[in-house]
Structure 1
Amino acid sequence: MLNYSLIQAYFGLRFKPEKNLDPDTINICSFNAFEFRINLYDFRHKIKRAEKAWRQISKDFDDPDILLFQEYNRTLDTFFIKNQGYKHYHIIEPKDGSTAIFSKYPILETGDIPFTESGNSATWSDIKIKNNIIRFYSLHLQSSSISKDAENFSKKANLEDKATWRSAWRMIKKYKSSALKRVDQLELVIDHIKSSPYPIIIGTDLNEVAASYVYRNLNNNFKDAFKEKGFGYGVTYDGAIPGLKIDYIFTDKRYKIVSFESCNHQNISDHFPINSLIQIQ
């Protein structure tokens, strides 16, 4: 028999609540922004496109209080800080992984968790929300780096060709290597979490599905917002490998998850932004 808890992690049956929320509810968005697809080609146009898309995402998510970014792009600092009203922030430099936290509430302390020999990263901020202090993590575990390989494989695969099987084996080895790194990185994060004097909320691109060791470890210690209040298939990745749910919001078990949703109609990333309303009293 299939494990019911695992089914819940992939398929949700919860509906979005009405707007009359408890005043102790906070609005969280986590997003692997893929640098908002901004590069040097047609630079200004892509910045404007990203800003326009974000305004719609923010409207759909009812103007989140806290943003937890992975693969953030610093060209949008002014937009988020001045135009969108996130006066409090902590950002890791691109060379160190580009995770970022933006907040409409005061940030008291910040820090990073270095991952050796990796372009991925984790950052944290202690945020004062009314009479509460909560430690937020933006976490991006090791990328598998097999999307392009998978895309080429799907286009050119010939099961009678030895080159096809060599390509498949390379992808498997690449995935295994990255999976082992993710386990090591998660252990660093868990050790850091254990030292926190405050309750925890995590926004993350785990690069792992719900059947993985990494997911189960977090799910055993925290609430998965999607499992609590998600609806439909929990797909969060829009890249070459279809149907993946690898982005999550986890919270301290004492908190009540009010809602969870994703926004799948934007074109500024290969991930979908995810959003959760969390009652912290």
Structure 2
Amino acid sequence: MRFIIIPIFFISILLFFSVHISPANWDYTGLLSLLIPVFVLLNLFLLALLLFGRIKLIIFPIMALLIGWKFFLVTFQWNVPDTETEGFSLLSYNVMLFNNNWESGREDRILNSIQWAKENPSDIKCFQEFYQDFTTPSRNALKIIGNDGEYEHSFLTVDGNPRKRSYGMAIFSRFPIINSGKVFDNRKNNGAMFADLIIRQDTIRIYNTHLESMNIRAADLDNLQGIKNQYRGTIRKLKQGIQMRATQTEILKEHIKNSPHPVILAGDFNDLPYSYTYFSLREILENGFEQMGRGFGFTYNRVLFFLRIDNIFFNQVLKVLQFNTHREVDYSDHYPISAVFAFPE
């Protein structure tokens, strides 16, 4: 038994520390971290098994679980929201181009998704994969969501014709936007932008980000045959995406560290909570789900439903009062997430 338990212990420790090694330096760390949930469950199983057997060996799964306790915190939470304190709200939503990339005949979903984005009451709205069409009034998302001037906006065009049809990222705000800019983009579908807002005599910098996509079609992994046919390409795409996100994360962190204002970072990170991306940002920022989330907080709305890849991070200068995953909103392949913040007294 010890020849199984001890190797599992050391492999677990290796995996648990792999999230602190950048895949840009050693690309396999990103793939190794995907095994963390498996080994957490394996240590739980060994712990239960050894309670009725060789009690001396139980120290190994106990130590592994204590060292890996942070992975429980990023996986599941059951917090009680603060509804007594008044604050300002922020929405983050990958809108999947408002369904404009879907098959024809889905005009209702296009219009309904734009309408939902308009009617959501959040004070600040961050959209990824934002589609803008100046040629069609019913799809002019900047005008519709801006609600005739109720929201100021900043739009980062990633691709397309910025005067006709384009897509990218957008930040809408009920508060004045005094500055905005680009952190990076890769001219495909991903990028990061920021906007500085005046909120009750304070200035807050809002980052909206969409890190490198995995470029893996969930439909290809929907059955055993699909997995067999696609596994080599899937591993290659995972590896490339992990490396690119590590590089983008370093650019983003450096920009955040140089921010003259408190920061909220929202978006689609395309990485699990067991990744270098997540823990690297967690070194300098708090996470809204960890502080005020409930349940598992899964944000992906497709076959791989157990993924939480959308996040809202923030400086300790701020206090998060509420955090919600809007699983009732299914227009996109991502669920919207939102949080309410306040300035500590």
**2:69 corresponds to 1:7:** no
Distance 1:53 1:117, change over 3 A: closer
Amino acid at match of 1:98: G
- CA offsets 1:46-85 (integer angstroms, 9 cap, x no match): 33222443366x2xxxx11111111112231111112682
User: Quick one: distance in 2 between partners of 1:107 and 1:68?
Assistant: 13
Residue 223 of structure 1 aligns with which residue? 286
**2:147 corresponds to 1:79:** no
**2:261 corresponds to 1:198:** yes
Residue 277 of structure 2 aligns with which residue? 214
**2:81 corresponds to 1:16:** yes
Q: Do 1:127 and 1:135's aligned partners in 2 also have CA atoms closer than 8 Å?
A: yes
What SS does the corresponding residue of 1:128 show, helix, strand or coil? strand
Residue 253 of structure 1 aligns with which residue? 316
**2:235 corresponds to 1:157:** no
* Larger RCO, structure (CA 8 Å, separation 6 or more): 1
1:171 deviation in Å?
0.1
Runs of 4+ in 1 over 4 A off after TM superposition: none
The counterpart of 2:172, out of the listed 95, 98, 102, is 102
User: Quick one: distance in 1 between partners of 2:335 and 2:170?
Assistant: 17
Q: Do 1:120 and 1:140's aligned partners in 2 also have CA atoms closer than 8 Å?
A: yes
- CA offsets 1:106-127 (integer angstroms, 9 cap, x no match): 0001100223464311010011
1:144 deviation in Å?
0.4
1:45 deviation in Å?
2.9
What SS does the corresponding residue of 2:316 show, helix, strand or coil? coil
Distance 1:81 1:51, change over 3 A: same
- RMSD of the TM alignment (CA)? 2.1
What SS does the corresponding residue of 1:187 show, helix, strand or coil? helix
What SS does the corresponding residue of 1:197 show, helix, strand or coil? coil
* Residues 1-281 of structure 1 aligned to structure 2 (within 5 Å): 1-2=64-65, 3-18=68-83, 20-22=84-86, 25-39=87-101, 41-42=104-105, 44-54=107-117, 58=120, 63-74=121-132, 75-82=140-147, 85-86=150-151, 88-95=152-159, 98-116=168-186, 118-146=188-216, 148=217, 150-155=218-223, 157=225, 165=228, 167-281=230-344
1:267 deviation in Å?
2.2
1:35 deviation in Å?
1.4
Q: Do 2:90 and 2:124's aligned partners in 1 also have CA atoms closer than 8 Å?
A: yes
Amino acid at match of 1:50: S
Residue 161 of structure 1 aligns with which residue? none
Q: Do 1:53 and 1:268's aligned partners in 2 also have CA atoms closer than 8 Å?
A: no
Q: Do 1:30 and 1:274's aligned partners in 2 also have CA atoms closer than 8 Å?
A: yes
**Percent identical:** 26
User: Quick one: distance in 2 between partners of 1:224 and 1:29?
Assistant: 14
- CA offsets 1:99-152 (integer angstroms, 9 cap, x no match): 111000000011002234643110100111111001110000000011x2x422
Q: Do 2:118 and 2:145's aligned partners in 1 also have CA atoms closer than 8 Å?
A: no
Amino acid at match of 2:220: N
1:241 deviation in Å?
1.7
What SS does the corresponding residue of 1:157 show, helix, strand or coil? helix
Distance 1:258 1:252, change over 3 A: same
1:156 deviation in Å?
5.3
Q: Which has the larger radius of gyration?
A: 2
Q: TM-score w.r.t. structure 2 length? A: 0.72
User: Quick one: distance in 2 between partners of 1:109 and 1:93?
Assistant: 17
How many residue pairs end up in the alignment?
Answer: 265
Q: TM-score w.r.t. structure 1 length? A: 0.87
Amino acid at match of 2:211: L
